[in-house]
Chain A
């Protein structure tokens, strides 16, 4: 018996049940946060009125998705083969975002590209250096210098 079959026999959580319940949880959270805003009246709806309608609608949809999701694929059988790499990519981008205004656009992009091409994709050093330096300088020149979009510079003016 393979993993998928075992998942189906065990009757574990289904993917649609999981996502539906997540949406319901989100709706409940937003509904809780919405207490801070006055609902107003029907004649004069307040800032909390529309969010409340949406929370009820999203919650209902989440519940229906979960209820109808009994025949969807078991959550355990879903393949997340690319997930580790996806998380690494997102974390690298997050670090770059944190660094962007601190060390400037060009250094950040060079570092990010070196990480992607050199560490993650294991490309040879020369192409990595050429692409990372070339991309960051060329994009800075086009966007920053030609189109006059202010891009962050490092504390050293670079």
Chain B
């Protein structure tokens, strides 16, 4: 514990440097704005900002991008509460009771509880990250190729189990992402695969055009035709203070949402989205008056908002400790660190303590910055929502093209962006979750390399995964969850989503 505090002090000595503070503030500010804008979620925001971080030092780059990520989690709640428009997917549940509170003239307390819940969850999440990541990284030093293969497969099975939609569709999308990851030069044999004769594809398909296309462009295509600007409430500072009763009702949901969100955040998938849905379901189930939910229950704002912020922090645990992204956002962030020649993984915390602990400390600072930004200045931010969507979406599209082109000055990337935008639009219309595509794309090279190395180690014997206890445990867990997920398909019955009350959303 003493060592942890010493390391944290080292982190604060880095995070409190004026340049880092400025970038943490800028990241939080951009994140808040990005989170508020429909069609520009944290992933698109981070992807678009990625080229701008190439010239920065790695600590500043990751502090800036992390600020955008959790800033977007905060910002997304504002549009949900005031306009019933989720700025990003994780805020969908906040719309239900947040907007109902706005209609009853309680927008201020809803915004305040969302911000306070996010602050508490973010801070608890950072403590969890601080305590868990180094331990996990130490444990992961025992991992060889079979363990990594098992870990990645387990991640994909958990992703399927936790997905909000059809398990089959989630697995199909993960396979599609993994197949996209096969494009380019095979590092073990030197063969260029599926490049269609396009030289640029030799390096593979980048995460940025795929992520921005699937999440940014497709969102704009789906919303094509929506032009009217909505009337916006601007709550004053004194109207933000919740009543004693509202504080009392929110305390439990904030605590439960923080814990639940952090735990869900560690596992793969769209954790921040799932966590907010699960938290809402649990709060409704635990409530003595579940009929209040949907009518403006403050617990329906406090729980999901805390959960999605804690999940955003939890997602950094496997990213930092294992070098494995559990969400498209952390995948882009890994790409941002790798540009600087740093490989996230078990050795990162030992070899780059300033980066890891500086990052942790900057998150404490970022949470305070966000609380300041999101409470007194909320009236200022909502002005952004007055911009008619007809003016907003062309600019966002231009940003998407600009951001994608800037990553490697390649028009091929922009073509990929447009293809992914069109594909994402069709897939979303057909009810497919797109996060597994982005995740599969990033995991593909790791999975292929570790699988082929494992088979080479065992002279082609798949039994190697059963001979090694860690790999066996992870595979068994993955298979059990996979079978659990299959159960509702084979036998008619309720699955966990119904159990937590999501079926009516």
Chain A residues engaging chain B, CB cutoff 8 angstroms: 15-16, 18-19, 23, 26, 30, 33, 37-38, 41-51, 54-55, 57-58, 61-62, 64-65, 68, 72, 78, 80-82, 85-86, 89-90, 93-94, 96-97, 100-101, 105, 109, 112-113, 116-117, 121, 123, 127, 131, 135-136, 139, 143, 147-151
Contact = CB atoms under 8 A, between A and B. Distances in A.
Closest 9 CB pairs of A and B: A42-B460, A116-B394, A61-B172, A86-B221, A85-B224, A43-B460, A47-B186, A47-B191, A58-B175
A139 B172 contact: no
Given A43-B460, A68-B168, A90-B421, A151 B406 contact: yes
A20 to B, nearest CB: 8
Contacts, number: 163
A45 B455 contact: yes
B188 interface: yes
A51 B227 contact: no
Contacts of A65: 166, 168-169, 172
Contacts of B193: 37, 47-48, 51
B24 to A, nearest CB: 18
A105 B409 CA distance: 12
B176 interface: yes
16 contacts: A16-B430, A44-B460, A47-B188, A47-B189, A50-B447, A58-B179, A61-B168, A82-B223, A85-B225, A100-B414, A109-B402, A113-B395, A121-B227, A123-B390, A135-B398, A147-B55
Contacts of B414: 97, 100
A36 B240 CA distance: 64
B225 A50 contact: no
B120 interface: no
Given A51-B182, A149-B406, A93 B224 contact: no
B51 interface: yes
B482 interface: no
Contacts of A30: 179, 194
A134 to B, nearest CB: 10
Nearest to B421: A90
B2 interface: no
Given A30-B194, A97-B401, A54 B182 contact: yes
B418 interface: yes
B443 to A, nearest CB: 12
B456 interface: yes
Given A47-B189, A89-B220, A147 B52 contact: yes
A82 B394 contact: no
B448 interface: yes
B452 A57 contact: no
B179 A90 contact: no
A19 B172 CA distance: 11
Contacts of A94: 415, 418
A131 to B, nearest CB: 6
